[in-house]
Structure 1
Amino acid sequence: MSLNFIFPGHRVTFLSLTILLASFLVGWPNHATAADQSTATIQVSAFKVQSEAEQEAERLKKHGVDALVRHEAVEGKGMWYRVYAGRFDNERQARETAQRLKADGIINWFWVRTVPVPPAAAATPAATIRTGASALPSRASVPPPATTITPAVATLPAEPRPAPEIGAEAASAGQATVARAAPEPRETRAPLWPGTFQFNSQTTLRAFQRNTEKGEDTTVLPLYQFLQVDYGDAQAGGWSMHGYGWGRLDLNDSAHFEDTTDGELLYGYLAYRRPYSALWADLGRQQILAGVTNQSIDGLQIGAGVGETISAALFGGVTAATDTAGSDGTFGGRMALHPEPHYEVALSYEHTDVESGPDHKAGVDLFFGWREWLTLQGLSSFNLETEGWREHNYSAALRYRAFVLEPVYQVFNYQDYFGGSTESSSLFHFLVDSNEQVTITGADLQWNSATLVGISLRGNHYTYDVRQENADYLAGLVNLNLDSGSQFGAEAGRMDGRTADNAYYLYRVWG
């Protein structure tokens, strides 16, 4: 299969390209050995209090599950006690085991991780290993904007992007496996660049029809190539490199994409995680997820924690958006307070220099979790230029065995959300003049079986203040996740409103 991977040269910084190229050149010799020396484990929960984590591990052991507690630093969240279950020869075995445990009600959620095999050394089964390994930021698939404003039009799912495996040491059979220094002095320190290299490639073909300006229907057949490269083990601390991008080729040679880029470097950065601490730093093109900030920049982000109660992150650089004429300087940060194991409250700020003047916003976000069956999270952001609330966006998740109920509450003020912002060139900037406020309430009810099949029912109620209109959306969704990594899904829904814009049927499939 040919690799159609194109980067927009006028938008990619020299630093980002250098990092991505270096990850190929330096990591390639270790490709075979890294694949041969990896296993899998299951993370089943995380706690801020050690006693609660060990209590959970003991509960799993009573069900015949080999469990281990590890004390690890989580980026921007401080130190956490993670509970891991078992060690397996490959991801498929780990996933099948986790699905059985979930179907039996023993666990409520899980995360399958691939890990390098460290030198074997037995430890006390009940011991808690303090590794201080930091979690890699969630940059595998670049998240959509903090809020996608599509109250009257349902959107297609985000472009499929393969999720990378994130390394994490684990243990099996109730025994911890740790790396010990050999007698020779030259082996008493871990190498600067841990010898782990990962290369993921995914090809996606999409097909749809669009109506041209001449009133004719044209078929669009875009072929997408996604490429991800990771070198180094961020979980083990020290230095690592990460790169991810995509390219597109229109097989039907239509003019649908003539005004858009045919490829993009989504991220390409050098990462540092200080072992046994919560200090971390990323340099290069990266996605910033920090409260009110959700954008891609070319720059530096650094974070640290003060004990287990306070954590902070600062960033600075230039925006990496591809739909603007040039890059804009930006900086900001987020400070979080998490004195208790079950909740977190944070303040955030972002300042961006644009042609029309400075754009800055602030906000507060929160997280509350109780065991694995209840989570609550939300964000309220304020536009300091227009002196109005941009959004209130809150959601919850209630889990019971294979069922998940996710209620949502969202309020968007178009004038404050888009007005005076760096998003002035976005597709929805015309909504600023409408002065509309839309409120969305609803819920998703999901059922996930042990056979990797998911079924969901979705219901949302839309209220428009200026238009004085209400609309209801009801839909059913089916998802299929195969062991090979392939994903397929379908949705059928009905929007029931007073006007034509809010009265339609929606059918879509993806894979």
Structure 2
Amino acid sequence: MGAFRKNGCGYFPLFLTVLGCLVVLASMVPVAWAAEYSLSSRSYLYLHERDNAIGPNDHLAPLYEYLSLDVWDLKEANLSFHSYGWGRVDLADASAGGRNSGDISSAYLQYRYPTGNGQAKLGRFFLAEGTTTETLDGLFLKGTGKGGFGASFYAGNPVENSIIASGGGNSLVGGRVFYVRPGLAEAGFGYLFENGDFQGKNREEAGGDLWVRFAPSWDLTGKIVYNLTTSELASHRVAFRLVPVNTIDLELGTEGYRYDGLFQKSLHPAFLPPSANGSDKVRKLFADCDWQATERLSVQAGVKRIHHDADDPGDAAYGELGFRLQMEGVLNLLGFSAALQTADLSENEYRELRGWLMGTVRKWSFSLDALTYLYEVPVNGVDTSTQIVGSAGWKASTLLSLSGDVRYTRSPRYAKDLTILLRADFALDGSWGGK
């Protein structure tokens, strides 16, 4: 079906119309049809003043509106409806290829079967099943038998959200078989076929996923995807999580991918030749630790080793150390972290420093976040990138929250970038009818 995002009026006005009709229809639902609903609106106004290092400066003022509606217990206790969409209007310079755009991210009916952990979805929905993550206009079915064996099936038109013009795939079909023991283990095998023109070929993948809990504090997760079209391993990830004591959370793992196999479907030129080396293989080893040193102080540490078969970008090693301190009073949270990356190529080496704080005063909340990168080799003649973000919010009522951010950035890309974000969040929960 291709991209649902359009310039010009787009589909968001249609979404607003449909949403309004749903609200009107809801008021006409027979009293015997008891239902619960949740309606939310999030409005964002960005004010950008950006001095680009290369090219003309930007004066941007995009206004975004995000709407969602969820309705549960529609006539039957297990039937529900979910929808989400957004729209954008530029009040100053065009910000993204056009002065306005919109997208219906999801709009689907869902039925959950009383037994077998079964479910069915019809419409536009986000799919996360095994190794597959897609947005689909179509159908999804899933069920589990008494012995723990189950299967899922999905089919429809893929929804491509791309920043460049592309038709995407024409149709997509797939499924997964699995075995699950709640709280102990789950293993699955999935298959996906997408008809389309991805570098001149269709997309065909097979994947496996595994989760095992050896003990209350020992978990193993793994995922592997094989690209049947390019006949190569696309990606894999294995992670072991260990909590030896209540105060230490440790994760060790490895992951890897090959550009040709993983990014065959990519619609962004950054992942297509010649921008990226399609034959390059990437392998990573990582370890992360979170230590609750005291009731209020926690320490985080992480290391990562990245290996590229290609000399450019070559290998790299990354390490990070930080802490979070919870406090009482006006200040609630204080944090700091420092990171260092070394690499075969000095142009990929940098140091990172970050500090942040959060606090509350009655119905007000505030935060301050500062981030700095120090590059080993200057980029466009600049060896430092700094960003400072200040935020404040006010809980006006149980239904309405108002907040704002001020962000200042200096980087090799932007000589100066000042952004003001004004935000309004409205949420309404309720019910109608009765039994």
TM-score scaled by structure 1? 0.56
Q: Which among 472, 477, 499 is matched to residue 317 of structure 2?
A: 472
Matched, 1:321 2:160: yes
How does 1:27-426 map onto structure 2 within 5 Å? 27=26, 194-203=34-43, 212=52, 214-215=54-55, 218=58, 224-233=64-73, 237-248=77-88, 253-258=92-97, 262-323=101-162, 324-325=166-167, 328-338=170-180, 342-355=184-197, 356-399=200-243, 400-419=245-264, 421=265, 423-425=266-268
Structure 1 residue 332, shift from structure 2 partner: 0.3
Structure 1 residue 240, shift from structure 2 partner: 0.3
Find the aligned partners of 1:481 and 1:28 in 2 and give their Cα distance.
46
Query: 1:489·1:509 contact (CA, 8 Å) conserved in 2?
Result: no
Aligned residue in 2 for 1:496: 342
Find the aligned partners of 2:325 and 2:7 in 1 and give their Cα distance.
34
Structure 1 residue 280, shift from structure 2 partner: 1.2
Aligned residue in 1 for 2:410: none
Query: 2:210·2:222 contact (CA, 8 Å) conserved in 1?
Result: yes
Find the aligned partners of 2:295 and 2:27 in 1 and give their Cα distance.
36
Query: 2:90·2:99 contact (CA, 8 Å) conserved in 1?
Result: no
Structure 1 residue 28, shift from structure 2 partner: 6.7
Aligned to 1:416, what secondary structure does the other structure show?
A: helix
Aligned to 1:276, what secondary structure does the other structure show?
A: coil
1:385-439 residue CA offsets vs partner (Å, 9 max, x unmatched): 11100011122322343542222311111122123x3x24464223654411111
Q: Give 2:271's aligned amino acid.
A: F
1:22-78 residue CA offsets vs partner (Å, 9 max, x unmatched): 654455799xxxxxxxxxxxxxxxxxxxxxxxxxxxxxxxxxxxxxxxxxxxxxxxx
Segment drifting more, 444-453 vs 222-231: 444-453
Structure 1 residue 347, shift from structure 2 partner: 0.4
Counting matched residue pairs gives 339
Structure 1 residue 214, shift from structure 2 partner: 4.0
Taking structure 1 as reference, are residues 273 and 222 closer, same or farther at Cα in structure 2, changes over 3 Å only? same
**Structure with larger RCO (C-alpha < 8 A, sep 6+):** 2
Find the aligned partners of 2:317 and 2:19 in 1 and give their Cα distance.
46
Find the aligned partners of 2:320 and 2:288 in 1 and give their Cα distance.
10
Query: 2:291·2:298 contact (CA, 8 Å) conserved in 1?
Result: yes
Taking structure 1 as reference, are residues 226 and 381 closer, same or farther at Cα in structure 2, changes over 3 Å only? same
Structure 1 residues not aligned, in runs of 5+: 1-5, 31-186
TM-score scaled by structure 2? 0.64
Query: 1:7·1:247 contact (CA, 8 Å) conserved in 2?
Result: no
Structure 1 residue 20, shift from structure 2 partner: 5.0
Taking structure 1 as reference, are residues 224 and 487 closer, same or farther at Cα in structure 2, changes over 3 Å only? farther
Taking structure 1 as reference, are residues 322 and 339 closer, same or farther at Cα in structure 2, changes over 3 Å only? closer
Taking structure 1 as reference, are residues 14 and 345 closer, same or farther at Cα in structure 2, changes over 3 Å only? farther
More strand by share: 2
Structure 2 residues not aligned, in runs of 5+: 353-370, 372-386, 392-435
Find the aligned partners of 2:147 and 2:221 in 1 and give their Cα distance.
20
Matched, 1:428 2:271: yes
Identity %: 23
1:434-480 residue CA offsets vs partner (Å, 9 max, x unmatched): 41111111122235799999763332111111217321222346779
Find the aligned partners of 1:311 and 1:496 in 2 and give their Cα distance.
46
Query: 1:439·1:464 contact (CA, 8 Å) conserved in 2?
Result: yes
Aligned to 2:143, what secondary structure does the other structure show?
A: strand
